[in-house]
Amino acid sequence: MKKVLIITYYWPPSGGGGVMRWLKMSKYLPGLGWKPIIYTPENPDASVVDESLAKEIHPETEIVKTPIWEPYEIFRKLTRKKKGEKFKAGYISEASSGDWKSKLSVFIRGNFLIPDPRKFWIKPSIRFLSKYLEENPVDLIVSTGPPHSMHLIALELKKKFDTPWIADFRDPWTDIDFYNKLRLTKWADKIHRNLELEVLEKADHVVTVSPNCANDLTKVPGKRVEVINNGFDPEDFEGLATSPDEQFSITHFGAFNRDRNPAVLWKTLGALAAENHDFKEKLRIRLIGQTDDSVIQSIEENGLKDNLIQMDHLPHKKGLAELAGSQVLLLPINDAPNARGILPGKMYEYMALRRPILAIGPTDSDFAQILAETNAGAAIGFNDSSGMKAVLNNYFMLFREGKLQVQSASVDKYSRKNLAQKFISLVEK
């Protein structure tokens, strides 16, 4: 077997979307002739933990860990959080408009922790991996970010070993939705952009998750950025037989931050509930996972408190089982400058469940194109209240008739197995 070193911050028992891309990709690499070697922190400060994901690791995977020091306890003291309290996804957006201590924490994060709070793991990792690679050569190095500190580790290894290196951008760096909220000085902004450009220049290949993200990352003349989508693992859906809810349930799974709060949805649901007693009685809004307080507040302000069901983060397969029974699957996109390129990993799992998807975001986006291509659901603009009302009325009518379903097609191209093959074809080409 050939060997690939994958440098990733997110790995089980950490949970959430950041883990899935390379946990699932590595699962199918041995069948394609590649042995995955995972380099990851021994003690990460993960926002979500999912012990069940350890079962997903392929038995031929080698896992190498070293300790990491992160400044999060300092941040907790500064922002008056309890010791060990988890930082929610979207913390920067929330803190950037908070009190002066929260704003100070964001300023420190953006201007002194470059590129991110995991920067203190860069030098120890370079030392450790330099020695490791001298004794255990590999055929390929992959770094996946964010956190983009992972790319800076690979950058230095590339200079020492000249091993082929692929930089994988699961999310952008200077084009990410919260970048303009980091309260950056001109000096810090220049450092971020220079480091990003060096990674893009020195990596042998750059891959990302959507066409719009690829366009944003095409900053080096003549250098192409390849798209390897996220996807779904068919094995996760074996035996997942659940009958649809008897209620008109609209379910979201995963982190639900302030920037994703779909005001048009809550306003429209509130209006429909006020107009139609049956709609009010049947409606259930289920939010599974970390949810920002602003989302709950919006729901309650629209008279939907009694329709809301909140659940803590669930192990991955239990979460899928909950989703499988939902009448509608909610996919809100961050209302941010890069919204057209955002393709949430959960979208592909929603598609595999073959329940109607209600997506909220730009209708000329990558996610809207995939939903149309696969006939998996509807995409509604951030402020399109009439379009939202029409879709919800149609979904509710079909629900009452027992006909709410989708005839999706071409979904299998987004299976993790097929995407792993696409990745290896890129490598071997």
Please tell me whether residues 155 and 244 are part of one structural domain: no
Query: What is the tens place of the pLDDT at every residue in 299-317?
Result: 999 999 999 999 988 888 8
Residue 95, in any domain of the structure: no
Residue 159, in any domain of the structure: yes
The Cα–Cα gap between 226 and 21 comes to 16
The Cα–Cα gap between 278 and 275 comes to 9
Mean per-residue pLDDT, 372-392:
95
Query: Which residues are registered as beta bridge partners of 41?
Result: 66
The Cα–Cα gap between 191 and 216 comes to 18
Q: What pLDDT is recorded for position 295?
A: 94
Please tell me whether residues 224 and 257 are part of one structural domain: no
The Cα–Cα gap between 293 and 98 comes to 13
53: tokens are: 């994901």
Please tell me whether residues 199 and 269 are part of one structural domain: no
Please tell me whether residues 295 and 268 are part of one structural domain: yes
- Helices and strands per DSSP (H, E), number in the chain: 16, 13
pLDDT band for 103, please (50, 70, 90 cuts). Answer: confident
Q: What pLDDT is recorded for position 89?
A: 58
Query: What is the tens place of the pLDDT at every residue in 222-251?
Result: 889 999 999 999 999 888 767 888 999 999
Give the domain extent around 33.
Answer: 2-69+115-228
CA quadruple 285, 380, 18, 29: dihedral sign: positive
Split into its structural domains, the chain has a count of: 2
Please tell me whether residues 143 and 257 are part of one structural domain: no
Please tell me whether residues 9 and 125 are part of one structural domain: yes
For residue 288, the surrounding DSSP H or E stretch is strand 283-288
For residue 145, the surrounding DSSP H or E stretch is strand 140-145
Mean per-residue pLDDT, 69-98:
68
pLDDT score of 87 more than 70 = no
CA quadruple 25, 226, 424, 367: dihedral sign: positive
Q: Is the peptide bond before 164 cis (omega within 30 degrees of 0)?
A: no
Q: What pLDDT is recorded for position 88?
A: 59
Please tell me whether residues 244 and 290 are part of one structural domain: yes
Choice between 45 and 100, residue whose per-residue pLDDT is larger: 45
Q: Find out whether 24 and 53 touch, Cβ atoms under 8 Å.
A: no
